[in-house]
Amino acid sequence: MPHSHHSHSGQFCKHASGTLEEVVLEAIRQGFEVYGLTEHVPRYRVADLYPEEEDLTPEELLEQFDGFVAEAHRLKAKYAGEIVLLVGLETEHITPGDLDHLDALLSRYRGKIEYLVGSVHHVNELPIDFDRATFDKAVASVGTSADDARVRTEAFLCAYFDLQHALLTRFQPEVVGHADLCRLYTPELRFADYPAAHARLVRNVAYAAGYGALFELNAAALRKGWDGAYPGADVVEVIAAAGGRFALSDDSHGPHAVGLNYTRLAAYARRVGVGALAVLAQSETPNAAGRYVRARDVPGAWWEHPFWRELDARQKHA
């Protein structure tokens, strides 16, 4: 303890801040033992670039990702005596072409990308975590004009989980990223109220748990106004019932967000009954996807680790 499996930096992500090395140094300062460096994959269509990327081309995004992979491995070697750094990426699934491009990307960096955070950020090619207006537009874009709000919401949720399922089955990502991002702006929504969507959630969880994926408890939801982490308590229950395992992620977007809200994350994990955690570690034998990392269980009562007391003391002092 402690760990994070999901992070970004302003050096390689336009909506983050700081350099990758500053992120790593902050993780070392806080006492992280394992820290995952997982930049967004480069999007390949101009239509999918965000406003802050309007001065870039898809080719330049690919060059930027080349720089990330090289810098991440430089830092991994430089700080090997102080922290275990894992080099991964966070996926996109906007259209089926994104999956084909991810295949090509993994071939390009064969042996350099150690694991995947399997995330979906779009529905019907519209971002669902950019702002509320775009989220509402994505919901409204699914279904037909004759559908009422409830039918559209269920269709939206089903579309999200179908995109997630295609990603899971094709790539077996080691970490399932913010599994219920589809309700970012509607955290009160409960999937059990939408039977078709709930069935897809259960299907996806069962598949991912079956090949050994970790489901991240992602602290970013706390800085986005939730009273807990991704995933919500109802999804945690589904994961636990399927025998799935949980891991920690801060989803930091710069050194200022390393370990941000981890005290609250720990309290949430205990509140929803997460009694055990796991962490990725490098392995001499390949996992289900052929990559050389595997999950290992964190021994003992994870909440009794001195990190949590030290973090609480630092925050009170600050």
* CA atoms within a 13 Å half-sphere pointing along the CA-CB vector of 136: 3
221-240 mean pLDDT? 97
Whether 317 has a pLDDT exceeding 70, the answer reads no
For 100-136, the pLDDT digits (tens) are 999 999 999 999 999 999 999 999 999 999 999 999 9
CB 191 within 8 A of CB 197: yes
**Cα angle, residue 77 at apex, residues 216 and 80 outer, rounded to 5°:** 65
**Tell me, what's the pLDDT at 318?**
58
CB 207 within 8 A of CB 38: no
Q: pTM for the complete prediction?
A: 0.95
Task: Please give the structure tokens belonging to residue 138.
Answer: 């994505």
Q: Of 203, 208, 206, 163, which is closest to residue 181 (Cα–Cα)?
A: 163
Q: Of 201, 250, 203, which is closest to residue 229 (Cα–Cα)?
A: 250
Q: Of 119, 65, 67, which is closest to residue 92 (Cα–Cα)?
A: 119
Which domains are present in the chain? 3-317 (3.20.20.140)
Percentage of the chain lying above the pLDDT 90 cut: 88
For 45-86, the pLDDT digits (tens) are 999 998 888 889 999 999 999 999 999 999 999 999 999 999
